[in-house]
């Protein structure tokens, strides 16, 4: 998502000690967040010139939140956690004097729950999908699902030997196949649906076979170039690798 040419409602602010501080839209250099089916969390980056003196309110420790409000016909509000203050670069201009250029990396609310704690818990004669749902609801605190596919496999015994929730889900999805697709290749990822972040547990086979996934015309073709800047099927970038006999 870019601020260039964006119409409708758009606002970005930081929550510092319960106080909301807006960032001037014209001072935002870059703002994007990525929904990746091969990543458990939504991640993003924000860069901006600190014209309001945000650093003067106190040091950014990484526990603050970023609030993004956007939309044209419908307004959505998303909250993300600051993961890292990647760079703070002092700048100077004749118009504004001394400022700071700040680069922030942010993640969704469930990122720290995925990797922050370790658990020791066991299951007896449970389906793989039921274990994943239990981990998601009780450890990750993510209870809303958009896409879901039950597994064929039942585990006679399964336990987390002081693993993180991510390690437990990693182990399970490599050993399961979907009831509807009959194929392996499970995905666990977050996506934004109608302004809310929801989890997804589904095989790649079933996900790619859903109607309307690739475009409104259900056209499964990808394009390197297209006249439509926001075409869902447009390949953003690619690279070619040479022969590597060592691999």
Range of the domain at 98: 9-109
User: Which of 152, 183, 186, 157 shows the shortest CA–CA distance to 169?
Assistant: 186
Q: Which of 109, 134, 163 is the last residue of a domain?
A: 109
pTM of the model: 0.80
pLDDT at 6: 44
pLDDT at 5: 44
Q: Residues 64, 14: contact at Cβ < 8 Å?
A: yes
Q: Residues 83, 106: contact at Cβ < 8 Å?
A: yes
pLDDT at 66: 93
In a domain, 41, yes or no: yes
In a domain, 219, yes or no: no
Other CB atoms within 10 A of residue 96 CB: 12
- Shared domain for 105 and 182, answered yes or no, is no
CATH, residue 62: 2.40.10
- Shared domain for 50 and 104, answered yes or no, is yes
Q: Which of 86, 109, 132 is the last residue of a domain?
A: 109
Distance of CA 99 to the CA centre of its chain: 30
In a domain, 238, yes or no: no
Number of domains in the chain: 2
Q: Residues 26, 48: contact at Cβ < 8 Å?
A: no
- Shared domain for 77 and 123, answered yes or no, is no
- Shared domain for 48 and 138, answered yes or no, is no
Q: What is the bridge-based pairing of β-strands 119-127 and 97-107?
A: unpaired
- Shared domain for 137 and 71, answered yes or no, is no
CATH, residue 136: 3.55.50
What span, in angstroms and rounded, lies between the C-alpha atoms of 197 and 118? 24
- Shared domain for 33 and 74, answered yes or no, is yes
In a domain, 231, yes or no: no
In a domain, 234, yes or no: no
DSSP string, the chain: --STT--SEEEEEEEETTEEEEE-GGGEEEEEEE--TTSSS-EEEEEEE-TT-GGGG----S--EEEEEEESSS-EEEEEEEEEEEEEEEEEETTTEEEEEEEEEEE-TTHHHHHS--EEEEEEEEEHHHHHHHHIIIII----EEEE--BS-EEEEEEEEEE-HHHHHHHHHTT--BTTT----EEEEEEEETTEEEEEEEEHHHHHHSTTSS-TT-----BSS-S-TT-TTB----------TT-
- Shared domain for 139 and 169, answered yes or no, is yes
- Shared domain for 88 and 139, answered yes or no, is no
Kindly give the confidence (pLDDT) of every residue in the chain, 247 residues in length, as a single tens digit, with 9 standing for 90 and above.
Answer: 444 444 568 899 988 877 888 888 889 999 999 999 999 999 999 999 887 777 776 666 667 899 999 888 888 999 999 998 888 888 776 666 677 889 999 999 999 999 999 999 999 999 999 999 999 999 999 999 999 999 999 999 999 999 999 999 999 999 999 999 999 999 999 999 988 999 999 999 999 888 766 655 556 677 777 776 667 777 878 888 888 888 6
In a domain, 242, yes or no: no
In a domain, 216, yes or no: no
User: Which of 68, 91, 95 shows the shortest CA–CA distance to 80?
Assistant: 68
Q: What is the bridge-based pairing of β-strands 65-71 and 76-93?
A: antiparallel
In a domain, 241, yes or no: no
pLDDT at 2: 41
- Shared domain for 15 and 104, answered yes or no, is yes
- Shared domain for 165 and 104, answered yes or no, is no
Q: 181 Cβ partners below 8 Å, 6+ apart?
A: 149, 203, 205, 206, 209
- Shared domain for 19 and 104, answered yes or no, is yes
- Shared domain for 143 and 121, answered yes or no, is yes
């Amino acid at each position: 998502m870019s601020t260039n040419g964006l119409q409708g409602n758009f606002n970005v602010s930081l929550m510092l000690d319960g106080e909301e501080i807006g960032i001037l839209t014209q001072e935002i250099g870059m703002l994007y967040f990525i929904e990746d089916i091969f990543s458990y969390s939504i991640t993003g980056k924000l860069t901006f010139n600190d014209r309001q003196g945000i650093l003067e309110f106190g040091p950014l420790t990484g526990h603050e939140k970023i609030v993004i409000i956007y939309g044209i016909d419908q307004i959505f509000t998303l909250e993300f956690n600051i993961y890292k203050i990647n760079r703070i670069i002092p700048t100077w201009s004749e118009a504004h004097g001394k400022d700071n250029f700040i680069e922030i990396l942010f993640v969704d609310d469930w990122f720290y729950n995925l990797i922050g704690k370790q658990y020791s818990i066991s299951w007896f004669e449970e389906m793989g999908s039921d274990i994943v749902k239990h981990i998601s609801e009780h450890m990750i605190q993510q209870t809303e699902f958009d896409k879901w596919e039950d597994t064929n496999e039942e585990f006679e015994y399964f336990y987390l030997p002081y693993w993180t929730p991510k390690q437990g889900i990693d182990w399970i999805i490599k050993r399961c196949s979907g009831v509807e697709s009959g194929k392996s290749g499970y995905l666990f990822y977050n996506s934004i649906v109608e302004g809310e972040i929801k989890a997804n547990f589904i095989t790649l086979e079933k996900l790619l076979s859903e109607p309307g996934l690739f475009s409104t015309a259900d056209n499964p073709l990808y394009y390197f170039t297209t006249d439509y800047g926001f075409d869902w099927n447009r390949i953003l970038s690619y690279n070619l690798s040479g022969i590597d006999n060592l691999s």
